[in-house]
């Protein structure tokens, strides 16, 4: 059978003692705030005043205590409404008025007599200050609780807004992904139905086999588009879920940008200018992961820049951050376009109407990779100065 250890009994007694103490304190608090306690205190205070008045007849009948009570009540009223400081001023002024104008010469060289005279006022002052300090502390606590509730409510509202935006974005991504996947699938199904119908009607003729080979090429191209889209979606998911490992090493930001331009397969129609300081700008980055992100940024800036225009790639560093910027002379973007530029499947109306290839995932993946490096990415635009893409990274700390 289970046997209690020697210390268990003492701990149990201590626990019971603490519980009884807590119960007593709780009962006392409930009683202190009850109406019954208020009645008892009011009766006791009246009795104390009666005792003081009776003692006054034997100690010093000529002292009119009742004269100072209105001024004391004024001090209490001021204390309850405006606080301890104004109440102290009101009480001191009331005592000066009583002793200097109403009952002049009331105070004498008899210390015991003066203590009896000043005692009620001093006691009243102490009680008033104690009540006011307690009230002000309660008001301060209530104010702090109110401020904390306001801050919590604001945080909850912001979280709700973020959740609503995330849900709306999720619905948009699902809808757009379904559309992008359905379009090539429709082409594939249509081509296969045409092939099947043509073979059934005219048989296996050389012309039909030539058409079959042509349709197969179209189907293959559409299937490759679907595969590329699915791979982009899967890669985006891995980046956002931080499932892509990082191998951080010191990297020269300008050298990375030069490497990106060298690896471009087609010659650029734009003049590229570099604007970096003489001192190399180093960041801690995964070169294999960051290079594709920079490629998307630079390619995007070139793709939507006017022909034969200048694209500027530059960078600078301060005490906390390293910033890369890519500027082109493209048409200005609206605030709405700037806000959604890095969201999945977002493409401006001009790009959609121009039938340029892409799904609008490149900048979203770039954003995820840069945020994976504890950085951020954004865009700025103006009517006269074109569009500038920014990528910010933490400054490299030398140990």
Domain ranges of the chain: 16-157, 164-240, 249-394
Three-point CA angle 208, 212, 216, nearest 5° = 170
Does the structure show a pLDDT above 70 at 193?
Answer: yes
Domain 164-240 sits in CATH at 1.10.287.130
Q: Output DSSP code: residue 265.
A: S
Query: Is the fold of 164-240 the same as that of 249-394?
Result: no
Residues 130, 135, 139, CA angle at the centre, nearest 5°?
150
Helix axes 35-59, 6-32, angle to 10 degrees: 70
Per mean pLDDT, which of 96-105, 150-159, 234-243, 286-295 is the most reliable? 286-295
In three-state form (DSSP H/G/I as H, E/B as E, the rest C), the secondary structure along 20-48 is: HHHHHHHHHHHHHCCHHHHHHHHHHHHHH
Identify which of 68, 79, 86, 77 has the alpha carbon closest to the alpha carbon of residue 129.
Answer: 79
Say whether pLDDT at 168 is over 80. Answer: no
Note the pLDDT tens digit of each residue in 245-286. 788 899 999 999 999 888 875 566 778 899 999 999 999 999
Given this model, what pLDDT does residue 102 score? Answer: 62
pLDDT tops 80 at residue 315: yes
Under CATH, to which class is 249-394 assigned?
alpha beta
Report the pLDDT averaged over residues 166-175.
64
The whole-angstrom separation of Cα 54 and Cα 58 is 7
Percent of the chain with pLDDT over 90: 13
């Amino acid at each position: 059978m289970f046997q209690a250890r020697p210390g268990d009994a003492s701990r149990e007694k201590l626990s019971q003692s603490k519980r009884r103490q807590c119960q007593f304190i709780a009962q006392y608090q409930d009683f202190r705030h009850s109406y019954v306690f208020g009645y008892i205190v009011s009766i006791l205070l009246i009795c104390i005043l009666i005792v003081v008045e009776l003692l006054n007849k034997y100690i010093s009948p000529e002292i009119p205590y009742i004269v100072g009570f209105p001024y004391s009540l004024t001090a209490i009223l001021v204390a309850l409404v405006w606080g301890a400081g104004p109440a102290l001023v009101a009480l001191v002024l009331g005592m000066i008025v009583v002793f200097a104008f109403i009952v002049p010469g009331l105070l004498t060289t008899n210390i015991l007599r003066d203590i009896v005279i000043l005692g009620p006022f001093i006691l009243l002052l102490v009680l008033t200050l104690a009540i006011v300090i307690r009230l002000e502390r309660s008001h301060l606590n209530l104010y702090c609780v109110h401020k904390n509730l306001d801050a919590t409510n604001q945080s909850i509202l912001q979280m709700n807004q973020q959740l609503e935006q995330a849900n709306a974005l999720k619905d948009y991504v699902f809808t757009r992904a379904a559309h992008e996947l359905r379009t090539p699938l429709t082409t594939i199904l249509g081509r296969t139905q045409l092939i099947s119908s043509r073979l059934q009607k005219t048989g296996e003729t050389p012309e039909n086999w030539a058409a079959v080979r042509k349709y197969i090429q179209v189907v293959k191209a559409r299937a490759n588009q679907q595969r590329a889209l699915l791979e982009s979606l899967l890669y985006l998911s891995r980046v956002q879920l931080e499932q892509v490992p990082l191998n951080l090493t010191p990297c020269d930001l300008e050298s990375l940008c030069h490497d990106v331009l060298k690896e471009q397969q087609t010659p650029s129609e734009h003049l590229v200018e570099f604007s970096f300081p003489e001192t190399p700008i180093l960041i801690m980055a995964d070169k294999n992961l960051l290079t594709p992100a920079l490629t998307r940024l630079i390619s995007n800036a070139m793709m939507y820049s006017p022909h034969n225009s200048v694209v500027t790639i530059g960078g600078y560093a301060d005490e906390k951050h390293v910033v890369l910027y890519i500027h082109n002379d493209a048409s200005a973007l609206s605030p709405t376009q700037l806000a959604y530029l890095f969201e999945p499947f977002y493409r401006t109306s001009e790009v959609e109407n121009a039938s340029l290839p892409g799904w609008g995932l490149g900048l979203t993946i770039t954003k995820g990779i840069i945020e994976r490096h504890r950085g951020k990415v954004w865009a700025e635009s103006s009517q006269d100065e074109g569009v500038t893409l920014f990528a910010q990274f933490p400054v490299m700390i030398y140990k």
